[in-house]
Amino acid sequence: MMNSEYFNVELISTTSPAYKINNRKYKKISDKVRQYKSVDHYAASYNKALLKWEFVVQSILSSISNENKNRILKFTDKKSNVRFREIDFIAEPTANELIFCELKLKEKFNAEIGKKSSGWAQLNKSISIAEENFNMLSGLSICIDMSLIYGLETEANEDDYCQIGDLEKSLTSPLLEKRTLWLSSIKISNLAIKMGLLTQFDVAEMKKLHEEYKNPLSVLNDETDHISNNPFQKLASLFDNSANKNSLETLH
């Protein structure tokens, strides 16, 4: 039975002109909305770093599987609107098989993670759109437990994490059941450093950016403490104030 809701379904490149035009259009709308809102620089820096780490994970997945780089799902809805959905990663074990992957960088491990948080809600929608055009289609949710990088306690045991070898098998043999795999951020970072995708500084910086994002006041407190604990700076400040006062008296 044909899907009567979606038409002209295809996978296109992230560099496709149609996709770029669509992104520019929505960026203009987003910029108009944001121009009247204050900017959270700590959140912006943290989110930018998350995008870098997502690229790192994509690169690792690409190194252990056959990647289909056309990961933008383009389709026409029943109102004749051309729509786009981005798939984080697509593995192509054979010419007739595709595995849509959703990547999630999670602050903490959660064995009971729900469909929305794990990315399965997004995967289900994408698969329902594409399944008429791609017969051998399955999905896989991949979550990275970032608590190990952030220095947070985790409830995960070593057995809760998928090993790279098992991850490779999941990307080369489509799974019949819907699965969510958890990866250790420490193992991902170590592998990324070996591959030249990250440095030790990048790893330490990620922890710092997360701390600033969660508690921006801690940055201000650190700066205040640094100033108040520097007696020479206090003394210099007294001289500066005295000089400014004398200058004002001379002018008057």
DSSP string across 94-151 = STTEEEEEEEEEESS--TT--HHHHTHHHHHHHHHHHTTT-SEEEEEEEEEETHHHHT
Assess if residue 1 is contained within a domain: no
134 and 228 share a domain?
no
Whole-angstrom Cα distance, residue 87 to residue 12? 11
Domain shared by 252 and 161, yes or no: no
The pLDDT, as a whole number, for residue 238 is 44
Q: What is the pLDDT of residue 95?
A: 86
Residues 140, 241, single domain; the answer is no
pLDDT of residue 38: 74
User: Could you tell me if residue 69 is inside a domain?
Assistant: yes
Ordered strands of the 72-77 beta sheet:
6-12, 72-77, 82-86
C-alpha 82/C-alpha 21 separation (Å) is 12
Among 162, 185, 186, which Cα is nearest to 175's? Answer: 162
Lookup: tokens for 146:
């970032």
10 within a domain of the structure (yes/no): yes
What integer pLDDT is reported at residue 225 of this predicted model? 55
- Helix axis angle, 200-214 to 41-63, nearest 10°: 140
Enclosing domain of residue 179:
6-215
- Assess if residue 184 is contained within a domain: yes
Same domain for 48 and 164, yes or no, is yes
Burial-class residue 135 by CB neighbours within 10 Å (0-12, 13-18, 19+). exposed
Structure tokens at 164: 């790279």
Q: Which two tokens stand for residue 52?
A: 């870098």
Same domain assignment for residues 151 and 225: no
| Residues 169, 233 within the same domain | no
What 3-state class would DSSP assign to 165?
helix
In a domain, 59, yes or no: yes
**What's the CA gap between 21 and 109, in Å, rounded?**
37
Name the token pair of 166: 């098992």
- Is the domain of 137 the same as that of 227? no
137 and 241 within one domain: no
143 close to 180: Cβ distance less than 8 angstroms: yes
Within a domain: 50: yes
Looking at the fold, whether 223 and 202 belong to one and the same domain comes out as no
How many domains is the chain partitioned into structurally? 2
Same domain, 161 and 182: yes
DSSP letter, residue 160: G
How far is 217 from 125, CA to CA, in rounded Å? 40
* Residue 250: per-residue pLDDT: 38
> Is residue 23 domain-resident?
yes
Question: Which has the closest alpha carbon to 204: 145, 148, 149?
Answer: 149
- 10-residue block means of pLDDT along the chain (252 residues)? 79 96 88 76 96 98 97 95 97 93 97 96 96 91 98 95 96 86 98 98 98 87 56 48 42 38
Assign 89 to helix, strand or coil: strand
Q: Are residues 37 and 104 in the same domain?
A: yes
Tell me whether residue 189 is in a domain.
Answer: yes
